[in-house]
Amino acid sequence: SYELTQPPSVSVSPGQTARITCSGDALPKQYAYWYQQKPGQAPVVVIYKDSERPSGIPERFSGSSSGTTVTLTISGVQAEDEADYYCQSTDNSGTYVVFGGGTKLTV
């Protein structure tokens, strides 16, 4: 079955730049989405279609894509950004949705 691979954890100091990667063979063909989840809360989309930012999401969140890897970048990380981040996409056919294993961002 299709898998998306994320690092389990990323740690940065406040004000630094955090980069979280997500790798998958179908990513050149299918869009990726990124969700932020804080303890006890439902996930919230922070990036959609690889690099689009929803309204209300701070500009410090950005997304990019290169080949089989997509990257979530958080510039000028703030303490409130500490959370779990999940990438999500679909398989090559677009039929099945897949999540990455999640990355715990520690600030």
**By the criterion CB under 8 A, which residues form the site for another protein?**
1, 30-31, 33, 35, 37, 42-45, 48-49, 54, 86, 88-90, 94-102
Calpha distance 25→10 (Å, rounded)? 23
Nearer to another protein, 43 or 81 (CB): 43
Contacts 24+ apart (CB under 8 A), 38-43: 38/82, 38/83, 38/84, 43/86
Q: How far is the CB of 91 from another protein (least distance, A)?
A: 9
Distance CA 46, CA 55 (A): 9
CB 48 to another protein: min, Å: 5
Residue 58 DSSP class: -
Neighbours of 97 (CB within 10 A): 12
* Rounded least distance, CB 14 to another protein, Å: 26
Closest to another protein by CB, 15 or 94: 94
C-beta of 30 vs 71, nearer to another protein: 30
